[in-house]
Chains A and B, each alone.
Chain A
Amino acid sequence: MRHRHGPDNGSVRAAVTGAVTLALVTLLAVPPLLAQSPSASVPNLTGIWHRKGPLGGKRNMPAVPTNRGAGFEKAFDDAFSPTYDCLAAPVPGLMNDNYDFEIIQQTDRVILKYEKMDIVRTVWLEGHGHPKPAANDYVHQGHAVGRYENGRLVVVTTNFTFDPRGFSANQFIPGSTLKKMTERWWRDGDILKLDSVTEDPLSLKQPFLYGFEWTVRTEPLTTYDCDPADSRWGAQWHKSKYPADK
C-alpha cells in the first residue's frame, strides 16, 4: 500500500528545482553590478590618478566675477582665508592644486579621496534611494549626485556652504550657496579626463569652465595630515589691507 505524505514529493521537488534554476539563470543574466566591471555605459574610473595637464592641452581661464563678486574679492583680507586653518578650498578649487587623488567606484556611490587636506567626497549615485539633503542642509564640499551616461560619470554638486574661495584656492571670488558644479568624468585609455562647468548667479558673470587630465599613479596617496599651527604661521606676515585697530 502506498502512503501519501502531504503534498506529492515529486511536485515539491520539481518546484524547488525550478525555483533554483530560475534563480541561477537570473543571477547569471543580471549584469554584475557589485563588481562594477567596465561596460560601455559605466567607465572604469577606479584608481589613483596623477596630474597631467589641462584637458586637451587647452589652458583653463580664470573665473570671471560679477561686480558683486569682484567687490568681495577686493575687500577680502587674506587673514580671513580658511586655508590658514587647514580647511581645503571646495571644488572646483580643490581640484586645481598640485595634488593627486583616488576614485573608488562602488555599487551605489563613488568615493573621491583627495591628497590635498585628505578630503573625501562622496558622489551618491541615482537610483539607490539615497536621501536628498534638506533645503537648509549645506556641506562644505557640497552634496554630489551622480549617474552614468554614455560612458561618462556625470556629477552634479549643489548645497555648498558659502566660501571665499569659491572657484580657486588662491583667489577670493566667493562661492555662494547657489553654486552648482557639473562634472563629466571619462577614461581614454589610461588617461582620466574631466570636463566641468561651475555656475554661481551671484558671483560669476559666466560659467567657470575647468578641464583636466590625469594619468595612472601606482604609488599610494601621501597623507596630508595638516598641522594647524604650521598652517596659520604664514598669516602673521601678510600685510592687512586695513589699518590696525587702535
Chain B
Amino acid sequence: MTDWLRTSAVWRVVVVLVVVLAAMVADVAAHHSTGYYSKEQKDFVTLQGKVTRWEFRSPHSQIYLEVRDKDGKAVVWRFESTPAAWLLREGFKQDSLAVGDEITVEGFSIPGQPFAWLGKVTKADGTRLLPQRSSATPDWWKP
C-alpha cells in the first residue's frame, strides 16, 4: 500500500511537470513547426555575400544571399524568417534590403543544405536588422 502511494505520488508529480511544461508553450503559436532548422552550434552559419532576392512577405520573409564558397564558386543561400507583419514591429521595411546589398547574415541551417533560419543581418554600414526570436532560434544564440 505504501509502495503504491509512493508510486502514485511520483506519477502525479510527473503529470504535473508535463502539464506545466506544455503550458509554457501553450500561448505561443507560429505558422508551422520549423524544427527542421538545426539548433546545434555546428550548424550555425555566418555568411557574407550579396543579396540576390529579398522577399518581404508572409508567411515567411526570405533573403537570398549569393556567397562564394572556398573554391570561389557562387552558392545562393536562402534565409527564412518571420512574416512581414512581425518584421515590421522589429523595424524591418520593404526597403530595408535591396538586391545587390553586401551584407553579413547569421543563421541556423538545415544540415548539409544552403537553407537557414535567419538570426540577424548586418549591413555594410553597420546597421543591424534583428527579427524577433522564434521557435527556430536556439536559446544559446545571443545576437
Binding site for B on A (CB under 8 A): 54, 59-62, 78, 81, 83-84, 86, 93, 96-100, 115, 168-170, 221-222, 224-227, 230-231, 233-234, 237-238
Residues of B with C-beta under 8 A to A222 = 84-85, 88
A238, closest chain B residue (CB): B36
B32 in contact with A83 (CB, 8 Å): yes
Residues of B with C-beta under 8 A to A93 = 29
Residues of A with C-beta under 8 A to B29 = 93, 96-98, 168-170
Residues of B with C-beta under 8 A to A234 = 32, 34, 36, 60, 80
A226 in contact with B85 (CB, 8 Å): no
Binding site for A on B (CB under 8 A): 19, 22-23, 26-36, 55, 57-60, 62, 80, 83-86, 88, 110
Residues of A with C-beta under 8 A to B32 = 78, 81, 83-84, 170, 234
For residue A54, give the distance in angstroms from its CB to the closest CB of chain B.
Answer: 6
A170, closest chain B residue (CB): B29
A237-B110 in contact given A59-B26, A170-B29, A230-B62 (Cβ < 8 Å): yes
**12 other A-B residue contacts (CB within 8 Å) besides A100-B85, A115-B85:** A61-B26, A86-B59, A96-B27, A98-B28, A98-B86, A168-B29, A170-B30, A222-B84, A225-B58, A230-B60, A234-B34, A237-B36
B59 in contact with A78 (CB, 8 Å): no
7 contacts between A and B (CB under 8 A): A60-B26, A78-B32, A100-B85, A225-B58, A230-B55, A230-B62, A231-B60
Residues of B with C-beta under 8 A to A86 = 59
Which one of B22, B27, B59 contacts A54 once the chains associate, using CB atoms below 8 Å?
Answer: B27
B59 in contact with A231 (CB, 8 Å): yes
A238-B85 in contact given A54-B27, A60-B26 (Cβ < 8 Å): no
A98, B98: Cα distance in complex, Å: 27
B33 in contact with A226 (CB, 8 Å): no
